[in-house]
Chains A and B, each alone.
Chain A
Amino acid sequence: MALFVPCFVDLIRPEVGVATVRVLRSLGVEVVYPEGQTCCGQPAFNSGFFDEARGVARRFLDVFEREDFDYVVCPSGSCSTMVSRYYPLLFEETPEERGRAEALGGRVREFSDFLANVIGMEDPGASYSGRAVFHAGCHQRRELGVLEEPRRILRGVSGLELLDWEDEELCCGFGGTFSVKMPEVSAAMADQKIRALEKSGADTLISCDPSCLLHLEGRLRRTGHDTRVLHLAQVLDPGRGEV
């Protein structure tokens, strides 16, 4: 399989990419990282700049379209959705490219989806000490419908207590450039999640979306919380974060 590490994971949270590779390798999966990759184009797409997004998306197709990549695995529900659900919309006026996008989109799998539904991982073989809540990114929840998989995996982690929390279906308020264009509303949305997190008694926040995590972590730290903030791959990481 080929690994797609989104640009912000590459630059800001490389440890999420590293943990993803370790988990996959520990399960015996051969991981290829095509070095020509950059970004899926989502920031431009979400802002309405479809032409610019298409330019970036074409590059993505060129890099990942190779026959020998049976799957493209990505540790972000949002970026996986961009390729598998939104590329066809992005290329709706060019049938040839749309066809290419649909073919590749069918092979793109979000990390927990790949673990649960492709490899059929039974026991994550990991341990973690803490009380955690899981935040499903909106794309992961509604477009991919991958919601039970990460929860099931987390319930198999020894020592980890997975808690329910209020309004858990609500968006965290990141929304890409939304948080830049409307920072006050975005922060108010994050605060609602944080209040729910406090109420749950959790000490850890886990997600399959590093962008939601970056956003919530930024707000948690600014409001004086020391909640641990982790990507699912980091919880499962057999290397325990060493780089």
Chain B
Amino acid sequence: MAAKAGRPGEGLESRVEGFNERARVAVKDERLRSAVAVHSKNTIRNRNAALSALPDAPELRERAYRIKQETMANLDRHLERMASAVEKRGGKVFFANDGEEAVRYIGELARRRGAKLITKSKSMATEEIELNRRLQEEYPELGLEIVETDLGEWIAQLAGEPPSHIVAPILHMSRHRAAEVLSEEAGHPLPPNVEDLVYFARERLRQKFLSADIGITGANFGVAETGTVVTATNEGNEGLVASVPSVHVAVMGIEKVVPRLEDLAVFLRLLARSATGQKMTVYTDFVSGPKGEDEPDGPEEFHLVLLDNGRSSLLGGEFEEALYCIRCGACLNVCPVYRQTGGHAYGSTYSGPIGAVITPLLKGDEEAKDLPHASSLCGACWEACPVGIPLHELLLRLRRRQAETGISGRAQRLAFDAFEFGMRRPGLYGIGAKAARGVQGPLLRDGVARSLPGPLKGWAESREIPHLAEKSFRELWREGRIWWRGGKNS
């Protein structure tokens, strides 16, 4: 197999390693767990209803997978087509190999335009490369103010926290905490009810929308055929970010391109249903370039930043399917591990099963070595994925890559070498079983083991440990003791 480690991408300054430690804390946070549970339950119910009302959902899922497969096979061609369509309409296209190049491009643009205020909306890719922090750190002389305008994202930004869910960024936060954060921004206390908080946010953000020099958005899809950047939102702020400032920058992961408009119809039908259970999001915006001569609205300049950041290294390899993700978050909602830990335990922009897959692929195995193990491989993520990404299989392949590159460690290697040695030799397996039965004696108390040494310690602390039977099935079979009254003896 190809054991080469993916080229590590950039950004994500927070340490990804340490899922176990963070998860251990998170599972004791009842408030967090119940917030995640309520969200998951509602979203799954709505999603199931929306998808079952769509009779061709299974076919759509298959079509979506095939379109992605076909797109990735010729990604460079599709990107070129998209770029030339954008340029034809007067937009500029920049291909950023990594986060640093994207930051520099946007920083220089801000300098040239003398920008002071940047409004943002709807972008995981800029979270991934930590655009806000890096722009402010690397261009301090510009004195940039950068404001997230998605309500949840804005509250997270004010609180200095990263989003904890792809679709619901402040899922981890209570209404009271959100009110606290916004009260601080307001300079006076705000009541913890949604209406008041939204009203305040609207007032405050309206000023930002109107005075921003540059608007930065993400992209749910990019249509190669027409050079159109498509975003699906529920708050309508994306339209204000993309059209009010005189400059609009769309930052799009290169994998978001779809070849034709008709492909878009497949994905748009799946996206909202999978993400929130809506048939469509409230707004679906199409941007194809700066405003035309006869158009009253729109930016003077339009820039499309196509972000690679490690993605192209996955093309044609065993992890390519990770690029098929449309960021709907469905896999998070159904994942029993995510549901116990929330998103911050993953320590990465992308959490849940898809995060456990793409973070090591973009960041490198060493940095994210817990994540491929943060799954019981139950397959719920694969079942829920609207594009049919075999997420649990990709997690297995990542575990294999760790074993083959030695990241899994010597102890595990020795243990599984011994496992193989014993299991290949039935005689030895029998002797080993008898020996283990002898050893377990001292560990048992009232027939129950209370503690185990080494790696099994944590396991034994949380449950009663099954002990070995007095006689194995093999022995019972040999002794011909598998009979019952009125039944046949062996």
Does chain A bind chain B? yes
Does A148 belong to the interface (CB within 8 Å)? no
Does A56 belong to the interface (CB within 8 Å)? yes
**Is B23's CB under 8 angstroms from A184's CB?**
yes
Closest to A241 in B: B484
Closest to B485 in A: A239
Closest to A25 in B: B488
Minimum CB–CB distance from A136 to chain B (whole Å) comes to 11
Closest to B455 in A: A180
Does B466 belong to the interface (CB within 8 Å)? yes
**Is A12's CB under 8 angstroms from B380's CB?**
no
Residues of chain B within 8 A (CB-CB) of A109 are none
Residues of chain B within 8 A (CB-CB) of A35 are 426, 474, 477-478
**Is A11's CB under 8 angstroms from B456's CB?**
no
Given A44-B420, A52-B420, A180-B455 in contact, is the A142-B379 Cβ separation under 8 Å?
yes
Residues of chain A within 8 A (CB-CB) of B404 are 48, 50
**Is A189's CB under 8 angstroms from B403's CB?**
no
**Is A56's CB under 8 angstroms from B419's CB?**
yes
One of A173, A180, A238 near B456 (C-beta < 8 A): A180
Does B340 belong to the interface (CB within 8 Å)? yes
Closest to B449 in A: A218
Closest to A138 in B: B378
One of A39, A45, A170, A237 near B336 (C-beta < 8 A): A170
Closest to B401 in A: A48
Minimum CB–CB distance from B401 to chain A (whole Å) comes to 7
Does A126 belong to the interface (CB within 8 Å)? no
**Is B465's CB under 8 angstroms from A218's CB?**
yes
How many B residues touch the partner, as a band?
A: 35 or more
Complex formed: what's the CA distance from A66 to B462 in Å? 43
Given A44-B416, A175-B375, A185-B340 in contact, is the A17-B396 Cβ separation under 8 Å?
no
Closest to B422 in A: A38
**Is A239's CB under 8 angstroms from B484's CB?**
yes
One of B373, B403, B433, B455 near A178 (C-beta < 8 A): B373
Minimum CB–CB distance from B424 to chain A (whole Å) comes to 5
Of residues 419 to 469 in B, which have CB atoms within 8 Å of A's CB atoms? 419-420, 422-424, 426, 429, 433, 436, 448, 455-456, 458-459, 461-469
Residues of chain B within 8 A (CB-CB) of A41 are 420, 423
Complex formed: what's the CA distance from A46 to B468 in Å? 23
Residues of chain B within 8 A (CB-CB) of A13 are 466, 469
**Is B466's CB under 8 angstroms from A12's CB?**
yes
Of residues 110 to 151 in B, which have CB atoms within 8 Å of A's CB atoms? none
**Is B24's CB under 8 angstroms from A36's CB?**
no
One of A38, A171, A181, A222 near B424 (C-beta < 8 A): A38
Does A147 belong to the interface (CB within 8 Å)? no
Minimum CB–CB distance from A205 to chain B (whole Å) comes to 15
Minimum CB–CB distance from B371 to chain A (whole Å) comes to 11
Residues of chain A within 8 A (CB-CB) of B337 are 182, 185, 189
Minimum CB–CB distance from A83 to chain B (whole Å) comes to 14
Residues of chain A within 8 A (CB-CB) of B211 are none
Of residues 309 to 329 in B, which have CB atoms within 8 Å of A's CB atoms? none
Does B84 belong to the interface (CB within 8 Å)? no
Closest to A28 in B: B488
Minimum CB–CB distance from B473 to chain A (whole Å) comes to 4
Residues of chain B within 8 A (CB-CB) of A114 are none
Given A21-B482, A243-B481 in contact, is the A56-B373 Cβ separation under 8 Å?
no
Residues of chain B within 8 A (CB-CB) of A26 are 487
Minimum CB–CB distance from B171 to chain A (whole Å) comes to 17
Of residues 16 to 71 in B, which have CB atoms within 8 Å of A's CB atoms? 20, 23-24, 27, 33
**Is B420's CB under 8 angstroms from A12's CB?**
no
Does A7 belong to the interface (CB within 8 Å)? yes
**Is A173's CB under 8 angstroms from B488's CB?**
no
Minimum CB–CB distance from A2 to chain B (whole Å) comes to 13
Given A18-B482, A142-B382, A184-B462 in contact, is the A11-B468 Cβ separation under 8 Å?
yes
Does B471 belong to the interface (CB within 8 Å)? yes
Does B393 belong to the interface (CB within 8 Å)? yes
Does A96 belong to the interface (CB within 8 Å)? no
Of residues 40 to 57 in A, which have CB atoms within 8 Å of B's CB atoms? 41, 43-53, 55-56
Residues of chain A within 8 A (CB-CB) of B403 are 47-51
Residues of chain B within 8 A (CB-CB) of A188 are 27, 33, 340
Complex formed: what's the CA distance from A9 to B471 in Å? 11
Does A116 belong to the interface (CB within 8 Å)? no
**Is B472's CB under 8 angstroms from A184's CB?**
no
**Is B383's CB under 8 angstroms from A142's CB?**
yes
Does A74 belong to the interface (CB within 8 Å)? no
Complex formed: what's the CA distance from A63 to B474 in Å? 15
Complex formed: what's the CA distance from A185 to B462 in Å? 10
**Is A217's CB under 8 angstroms from B466's CB?**
yes
**Is B377's CB under 8 angstroms from A183's CB?**
no
Residues of chain B within 8 A (CB-CB) of A127 are none
Interface centre among B23, B33, B336, B436, by most chain A C-beta atoms within 10 angstroms, is: B336
Residues of chain A within 8 A (CB-CB) of B396 are 45-46, 48, 89
Does A214 belong to the interface (CB within 8 Å)? yes
One of B20, B336, B424, B465 near A59 (C-beta < 8 A): B424
Of residues 1 to 40 in A, which have CB atoms within 8 Å of B's CB atoms? 5, 7, 9-15, 17-18, 21-22, 25-26, 33, 35-39
Interface of B toward A, CB cutoff 8 Å: 1, 20, 23-24, 27, 33, 336-337, 339-341, 372-380, 382-383, 393, 396, 398-404, 408, 412-413, 416-417, 419-420, 422-424, 426, 429, 433, 436, 448, 455-456, 458-459, 461-469, 471-478, 481-488, 490
New A-B pairs, 6, CB < 8 Å, besides A178-B375, A178-B377, A218-B466? A48-B396, A49-B403, A51-B420, A179-B459, A180-B456, A182-B23
Residue contacts A-B, CB under 8 angstroms, 22 given: A5-B473, A12-B467, A13-B466, A14-B472, A14-B473, A18-B482, A41-B420, A45-B396, A48-B403, A49-B412, A49-B413, A89-B396, A180-B458, A183-B458, A185-B27, A185-B337, A188-B340, A189-B376, A192-B339, A218-B465, A221-B448, A243-B476
